[in-house]
Chains A and B, each alone.
Chain A
Amino acid sequence: KNEVEQSPQNLTAQEGEFITINCSYSVGISALHWLQQHPGGGIVSLFMLSSGKKKHGRLIATINIQEKHSSLHITASHPRDSAVYICAVREIQGAQKLVFGQGTRLTINP
């Protein structure tokens, strides 16, 4: 069983739809990261969370430490949001590295 699991693996939606991507993890963590990777490879860090909720523009990330679960929401989705979204956690044990989920490939159609 992967330590970090994301769902769905693939998501296709129409422009304007509200998007939710989920991440569940099985270990104690000190922080959770949401990353965005566009075709061509570059990774951008969207959020780092250790509790509660953060918002940047149309992006919202929440985390429930007790349930070991995080969600990334995109409001008013746009084709430029099409990318792979990756959840990664920094474990309390072995905190030097991130453990990555497999990613969610999001496609927003105009």
Chain B
Amino acid sequence: DAMVIQNPRYQVTQFGKPVTLSCSQTLNHNVMYWYQQKSSQAPKLLFHYYDKDFNNEADTPDNFQSRRPNTSFCFLDIRSPGLGDAAMYLCATSQDYFQETQYFGPGTRLLVL
């Protein structure tokens, strides 16, 4: 059974048109992460939540926002996608920060036209 679910798996949007990516988890984990991964690069952390405590990385562009309305769901909003935002977006969860396995979703591949 899928434990970290991302929808949609593929998203095509137009330059400047807001888009929302969704992640849900059935693990009841405290921590949820959003990563951006561009071709042949390592995943780059954008945000993480411990419960509702939000943390964004210093270099995450303001164009990216996130919401976590409850334990199970987390959303990534891209307010005005640019061509450079085309990437795979990965959601992950862990029970806690320390010495905990991260469970990754299948990713959403975003294409910006």
Contacts and interface: CB of A to CB of B under 8 A. Distances in A.
Interface of A: 30-31, 33, 35, 40-45, 48, 50, 86, 90, 95-98, 100-103
Interface of B: 33, 37, 41-43, 45, 48, 50, 55, 57, 88, 90, 92, 97-107, 109
Contacts of A41: 37, 88, 90, 106-107, 109
Given A41-B90, A96-B55, A103-B42, 14 more contacts: A30-B99, A35-B104, A41-B37, A42-B105, A42-B107, A43-B90, A43-B92, A43-B104, A45-B101, A95-B97, A96-B48, A97-B45, A102-B41, A102-B42
Nearest to B33: A97
Contact of B42 (A40, A86, A90, A96): A86
27 contacts: A31-B99, A33-B101, A33-B102, A41-B107, A41-B109, A42-B106, A42-B107, A43-B43, A43-B90, A43-B104, A43-B107, A44-B104, A45-B102, A45-B103, A45-B104, A48-B99, A48-B101, A86-B43, A90-B97, A90-B99, A95-B97, A96-B97, A97-B45, A97-B57, A98-B102, A100-B42, A101-B42
Nearest to B45: A97
B25 to A, nearest CB: 14
A16 B18 CA distance: 48
A100 B35 CA distance: 11
Contacts of A101: 42
Nearest to A29: B99
Contact of B45 (A33, A86, A98, A103): A98
A98 B92 CA distance: 11
B43 to A, nearest CB: 6
A30 B97 CA distance: 10
Nearest to B55: A96
Nearest to A50: B99
Nearest to B109: A41
Q: What are the 3 tightest A-B residue pairs by CB atom distance, in nearest-first order?
A: A41-B107, A100-B42, A43-B104
